[in-house]
């Protein structure tokens, strides 16, 4: 789940298989309870890193199942808030209590009161991207930081060209006919200012291209 205001990854929906109860059971856990396994080399960068969850099987078994029908009835924020509250209550002294720490609203996947604008990761791609004066393109890829705590960049496909755009340039717009991302620039300026995305052979984003993308959108706001 993503906080659209700053790209923070608030929580994750996990499929535990037969390890915890029903093979179809989905669980919501805060991202603060997960960290990247740095001992495992990522053989497929596009598939994402392997993560370690700091929780016992017994603790996970006490958590309520994530139900998409409940989301439709009550909204994603309410459902996730209840799930994170259940996570905090599941902590017991001497077991996993260290993971259940109070936090400020919706920051970097910590527990506590969450952000009011929360979306599922599947709503990011392939969402429409609009410029100030009309449709611009679609989100093709999205990249988080190395710890999967915050979304940093998206690749927007516009007129057949892949453009690297910092997430900070995007504004989420909820519409009844489909959610959109808005970049507050005219389409012409966007094409001129954006940096073309070309995947390097050994990484997801070239650092110099990332910096140029950030600088370009910072300058365009002046």
Both 139 and 205 in one domain: the answer is yes
- 123-161 burial, b if ≥16 CB within 10 A, otherwise e? bbeebbbbbeeeebbebbbbbbeebbbbbbbbbbbbeee
Both 37 and 147 in one domain: the answer is no
Both 107 and 170 in one domain: the answer is no
Both 215 and 129 in one domain: the answer is yes
- 2-12 burial, b if ≥16 CB within 10 A, otherwise e? bbbeebbbbbb
* pLDDT of the residue at 122: 81
Give me the number of domains the chain comprises.
Answer: 2
Both 160 and 71 in one domain: the answer is no
Both 169 and 108 in one domain: the answer is no
Both 130 and 210 in one domain: the answer is yes
Both 10 and 117 in one domain: the answer is yes
Residue owning tokens 């929780």? 55
| pLDDT value at 115 more than 90 | no
Both 69 and 143 in one domain: the answer is no
* pLDDT of the residue at 197: 95
Both 116 and 134 in one domain: the answer is no
* pLDDT of the residue at 106: 43
Write down the pTM of the prediction.
Answer: 0.76
- Final residue before a domain boundary, out of 105, 121, 137: 121
pLDDT category of residue 102 using cuts at 50, 70 and 90: very low
* pLDDT of the residue at 96: 46
Domain region containing 45:
2-121
| pLDDT value at 58 more than 50 | yes
Phi, psi (deg, nearest 5) at residue 219: -65, -40
CA angle, 94 as apex, 29 and 27 as ends, to 5°?
15
Both 106 and 129 in one domain: the answer is no
* pLDDT of the residue at 143: 92
Tens digit of pLDDT for each residue in 206-215?
Answer: 999 999 999 9
% of the chain beyond a pLDDT of 90 = 39
Both 196 and 214 in one domain: the answer is yes
């Amino acid at each position: 789940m993503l906080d659209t205001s700053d790209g923070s990854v608030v929580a994750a929906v996990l499929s535990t298989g037969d390890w915890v109860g029903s093979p179809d059971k989905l669980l919501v856990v805060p991202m603060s309870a997960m960290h990247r396994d740095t001992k495992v080399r990522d053989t497929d960068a596009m598939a994402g890193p392997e993560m370690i969850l700091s929780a016992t099987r017994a603790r996970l078994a006490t958590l309520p199942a994530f139900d998409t029908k409940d989301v439709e009835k009550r909204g994603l924020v309410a459902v996730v808030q209840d799930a994170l509250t259940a996570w905090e209550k599941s902590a017991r002294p001497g077991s996993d209590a260290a993971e259940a720490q109070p936090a400020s609203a919706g920051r970097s996947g910590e527990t506590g009161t969450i952000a009011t604008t929360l979306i599922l990761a599947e709503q990011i791609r392939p969402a429409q991207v609009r410029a100030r004066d009309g449709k611009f393109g679609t989100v093709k890829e999205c990249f988080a930081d190395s710890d999967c705590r915050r979304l940093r960049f998206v690749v927007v496909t516009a007129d057949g060209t892949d453009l690297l755009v910092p997430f900070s340039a995007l504004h989420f717009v909820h519409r009844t006919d489909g959610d959109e991302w808005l970049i507050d620039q005219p389409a012409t300026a966007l094409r001129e200012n954006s940096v073309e995305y070309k995947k390097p052979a050994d990484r997801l984003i070239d650092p110099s291209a990332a910096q140029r993308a950030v600088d370009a959108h910072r300058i365009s706001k002046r």
